[in-house]
Amino acid sequence: MHQTKIDKGIIAKELRFVPEIDSKPSKVFVETYGCQMNVSDSEVVVSILKQHGYVYTEIMEEADLILINTCSIRENAEQRVRGRLDVFRLMKKRRPSLLIGVIGCMAERLKEKLLEEQKMVDLVVGPDSYRDLHKLVQQAGTGQKAINVLLSREETYADISPVRFDENKISAFVSIMRGCNNMCAYCVVPYTRGAERSRDTQTILREVRELIEMGYKEVTLLGQNVDSYHWTDTATGDEISFPRLLSLVAQLSSKLRVRFSTSHPKDMNDEVLHTMAKYDNICKSIHLPAQSGSTRILELMKRGYTREWYLSRIEAIYSILPTCCVTTDIIAGFCSETEDDHQQTLSLIREAKYDFGFMFKYSERPKTYAHRKYPDDVPESIKSRRLQEIIDLMKVLSVESKKLDIGNVLEVLVEGTSKKSKHQLYGRTSQNKIVVFPRESYQIGDYVNVLINDCTSGTLKGKVIQ
């Protein structure tokens, strides 16, 4: 699942407590780091706490409880969280009754060590223990440190209708599965999120129906590897695979845009592509992380595919879905990566004609297969240089991909007011490209047809035509 802007940014919401005899704390502030899955989880956390009487406010300084939903994917993601904990420590010095909780992947990875290392942290809660939050907060309120980091084989929070953070009420994340069984050699997620499990199809459909009724226009189905979604319907005995789920969601409303993330190249089959082709409202955009263009490195990474297999998937996408845009994740400088391996990554990027990519320097994560078996032997300066070459190439491809749209009329779902000018609106195309255009009398939530007349590497520009 790709790292969104949220990786750098913050989702912050607060809850105001309607007092329940002597329960404390009354107000909660949640700050979220990491992937879309974490954003979705924070919505679940808020929903669970709400059931116990807590309510939002957006002022951190007012909070009785601060929860930080954390990411462990790379060392720098954890550093960022430690930096924030330093800020919370100062707040707690001024206000000792303030409770601080670390939740999410770092809580799961570090467990009790977090309480030892960060003395001011009062509670540590892993991703499968959020139903226990209220109890743990109460325990922490009595001065006892509270921790629950048990991973589950079943928990999907299927019955919880998450509180929504998107203020425009246009787009929502819907979690369809949790955990990951892939054990890619570099990746900490199987350790922080546990084994893969799918969510009951009926609860997914119910949640999407509720969103449609609330006026939402777009859902993104979330999982670490959506292609391995699998549910057996207890009533009918039906086996529901990802393409089937996708078509069931798409059929709920032709006005609802359906997206999904993340696809795994080893599992993404033509049935998914044909399902996407069949329904106009399934967006023509696929996030298909390659990680490397070298078969030797892909083998070391335990990704389960070769360069040729990956490129054959790309070919299938462009032949079944000619208008589709593909995005990727790339890791630069994985263990033993040579200049030749790196050149193969650059050539794969060129061949795949990506519209966009998330690009990272390899960061060794404790306990992973790569940490145990391979030396992290590509020098930092070489990792940096290779990453820069990948970023530069991706930028060229992003512009090329956008230029192809100039002169075309594209359907855009309006999502908000442009940051640069209140006279401009922005939205996205089916291909997930951002489009900026004059506001005129159009509203957030409208579908408009925009004639594209200009672009940058990140944005299309145009004008609505009737």
Site residues (CB under 6 A) for ligand F3S?
Answer: 34-35, 37-38, 71-73, 104-105, 188-189, 192-193
Find the shortest distance in angstroms from Cβ 261 to ligand SAH.
Answer: 8
**Looking at beta carbons only, is 92 or 178 nearer to ligand F3S?**
178
Query: Residue 335 Cβ, how far from ligand SF4 at the closest point, in Å?
Result: 15
Nearer to ligand SAH, 137 or 177 (CB): 177
Residue-level length of the chain: 466
431 binds ligand SF4 (CB under 6 A): no
Count of residues in contact with ligand SF4, rule CB under 6 A: 10
In the complex, what is the shortest distance from the CB of residue 142 to ligand F3S, in angstroms, rounded to a whole number?
30
Measured from the CB atom, the residue of 191 and 305 that comes closer to ligand F3S is 191
* Residues near 284 by beta carbon (within 8 Å), at least 6 away in sequence: 276, 321, 323, 324, 325, 430, 431
- Work out whether 189 is an interface residue with ligand SF4 (CB under 6 A): yes
Residue 107 binds what, of ligand SAH, ligand F3S, ligand SF4, none (CB under 5 to 8 Å, by partner type)? Answer: none
Our finding on whether 224 is near ligand SAH (CB under 6 A) is yes
CA of 100: how far to CAs of 69, 123, 155, in Å? 11, 7, 24
Task: Decide: is 184 part of the binding site for ligand SF4 (CB under 6 A).
Answer: yes
3-class DSSP string for the chain: CCCCHHHCCCCEEEECCCCCCCCCCCEEEEEECCCHHHHHHHHHHHHHHHHCCCEECCCHHHCCEEEEEECCCCHHHHHHHHHHHHHHHHHHHHCCCCEEEEEEHHHHHHCHHHHHHCCCCCEEECCCCHHHHHHHHHHHHCCCCEEECCCCCCCCCCCCCCCCCCCCCCEEEEECEECCCCCCCCCCHHHHHCCCEECCHHHHHHHHHHHHHCCCCEEEEECCCHHHCEEECCCCCCEEEHHHHHHHHHCCCCCCEEEEECCCCCCCCHHHHHHHHHCCCECCEEECCCECCCHHHHHHHCCCCCHHHHHHHHHHHHHHCCCCEEEEEEEECCCCCCHHHHHHHHHHHHHHCCCEEEEEECCCCCCCHHHHHCCCCCCHHHHHHHHHHHHHHHHHHHHHHHHCCCCCEEEEEEEEECCCCCCEEEEECCCCCEEEEECCCCCCCCEEEEEEEEECCCEEEEEECC
* 351-367: burial string, b at 16+ Cβ within 10 Å, e else: ebebbbbbbbbbbebee
Q: Tell whether residue 176 is a contact of ligand SF4 (CB under 6 A).
A: no
List binders of ligand SAH among 264-293 (CB under 6 A): 264, 289, 291
Least Å from the CB of residue 225 to ligand SAH: 6
Give the nearer residue to ligand SAH in terms of CB position, either 267 or 270.
267
For ligand SF4, what does the binding mask look like between residues 246 and 265, x meaning CB under 6 A? ------------------x-
As measured in angstroms, the least distance from the Cβ of 185 to ligand SF4 is 9
CA distance 127 to 42: 10
Instruction: Select from ligand SF4, ligand F3S, ligand SAH, none the partner in contact with residue 401, using the beta carbon and a kind-dependent cut-off of 5 to 8 Å.
Output: none
190 binds ligand SF4 (CB under 6 A): yes
Nearer to ligand F3S, 150 or 214 (CB): 150
In angstroms, the CA 114 to CA 100 distance is 12
Out of 29, 362, 426, 437, the only residue in the binding site for ligand SAH (CB under 6 A) is 362
Residue 37 in contact with ligand SF4, rule: CB under 6 A: no
Residue closer to ligand F3S, measured from CB, 73 or 258: 73
Task: Tell me which stretch binds ligand SAH (CB under 6 A): 79-87, 107-115, 344-352, 357-365.
Answer: 357-365
| Shortest Cβ 334–ligand SF4 spacing (Å) | 12
Query: Which C-beta is closer to ligand SAH: that of 361 or that of 402?
Result: 361
Q: Which stretch binds ligand SF4 (CB under 6 A): 45-53, 110-118, 186-194, 210-218?
A: 186-194
Q: According to the binding rule CB under 6 A, does residue 226 interact with ligand SF4?
A: no
Cα of 346 vs its chain's centroid, Å: 25
Positions in 310-329 near ligand SAH (CB under 6 A)? 329
Q: Which of ligand SAH, ligand SF4, ligand F3S, none does residue 190 bind (CB under 5 to 8 Å by kind)?
A: ligand SF4
Among 197, 284, 342, 365, binds ligand SAH (CB under 6 A): 365
Binding of ligand SF4 at residue 331 (CB under 6 A)? no
Tokens of 116: 């030892």
Is residue 156 within 8 Å of residue 177, measured between CB atoms?
yes
The residue with its CB nearest to ligand SAH is: 329
Crossing angle of the two packed helices 201-213 and 242-250, in degrees rounded to 10: 20
Pick from 156, 262, 285, 327: which binds ligand SAH (CB under 6 A)? 262
Interface residue list for ligand SF4 (CB under 6 A): 180, 182-184, 187, 189-190, 224-225, 264
Interface residue list for ligand SAH (CB under 6 A): 1, 3, 73-74, 186-187, 189, 224-225, 262, 264, 289, 291, 329, 331, 360, 362-363, 365
